[in-house]
Amino acid sequence: DTEVTQTPKHLVMGMTNKKSLKCEQHMGHRAMYWYKQKAKKPPELMFVYSYEKLSINESVPSRFSPECPNSSLLNLHLHALQPEDSALYLCASSRMALGQNEAFFGQGTRLTVV
Amino acid sequence: SQQGEEDPQALSIQEGENATMNCSYKTSINNLQWYRQNSGRGLVHLILIRSNEREKHSGRLRVTLDTSKKSSSLLITASRAADTASYFCATDATQGAQKLVFGQGTRLTINP
């Protein structure tokens, strides 16, 4: 199984809503990532989890809250988002071995904040 | 920032022709990777080249890396309509869990 599964595929939420994005992988990868991608732009790193611990936070606003319940799951909790947060949110995973770090990406969640 | 710059931003060629995309970056790296993205969905890993490698092949793909010039190129030979996608280079300068920094991407269109 070389898949990273993200749910939901599409999400529309109001600025006062609380929602969560979910990501799952069963490749035994111990590094998991959240990226944000705006239209016609490259993905931008948000968070990195290594062995279920948050290792990188790229100065992401606190309205985005990541969680890694176990080595296979990664969540992104959303609260009080702004319309400019509308984007494609991509989850990825990789092995921790140096030089073998190809990332496997999910299909993303297309988020629209209204 | 070690963010890569890619050129061209857009490339349109006929099916069967070769496509070459270039990537430049700013800092020392452990490896450089190329990814493909169709229609704004997930990225698919194509090839990884380590900093001590100069060239790598995978099927119709050929990647070169010149660390002295901090640049890389991706060549797709005998292009097909299915190769139409956006292509991104991504650099990794970290140990263990990686912090991939993506270039701006090249939008490749293969005309039948």
Mean pLDDT of B9-18: 96
pLDDT band for B1, please (50, 70, 90 cuts): very low
Residues of B in contact with A92 (CB under 8 A): 43
Least Cα distance to A26 among A71, A74, A75 occurs for: A71
Q: Do B48 and A101 touch (CB under 8 A)?
A: yes
**Other beta carbons within 10 Å of A7:** 13
CA distance from start to end of chain B: 38
Q: Do B96 and A96 touch (CB under 8 A)?
A: yes
Locate the chain A residue with the closest alpha carbon to B89: A42
Residue B86's pLDDT is 97
Measured in angstroms, the CA of B39 and the nearest CA of chain A are apart by 10
Least Cα distance to A98 among B101, B27, B50 occurs for: B50
- Checking if the pLDDT of B2 tops 50, the result is no
- Checking if the pLDDT of A7 tops 50, the result is yes
- Checking if the pLDDT of A100 tops 80, the result is no
* Residue A50 contacts B, CB cutoff 8 Å: yes
pLDDT band for B89, please (50, 70, 90 cuts): very high
User: Do residues A61 and A67 touch, judged by C-beta distance below 8 A?
Assistant: no
* Residue A66 contacts B, CB cutoff 8 Å: no
State the Cα–Cα distance between residues B47 and B36, nearest whole angstrom: 10
Structure tokens at A3: 């898949």
- Checking if the pLDDT of A97 tops 70, the result is no
Residue B10, Ramachandran bin (φ over 0: left; ψ between -120 and 50: alpha; else beta) = beta
Residue A96's pLDDT is 74
Residue B59 contacts by C-beta under 8 Å, 6 or more apart in sequence? none
* Residue A107 contacts B, CB cutoff 8 Å: yes
Number of inter-chain CB pairs under 8 A, A vs B: 75
**A80 in helix, strand or coil?**
coil
Question: What is the per-residue burial (b if ≥16 Cβ within 10 Å, else e) of A27-50?
Answer: eebbbbbbbbbeeeebbbbbbbbb
Reported as a single tens digit per residue, the pLDDT across B36-74 is 999 878 999 999 999 999 999 999 999 999 999 999 999
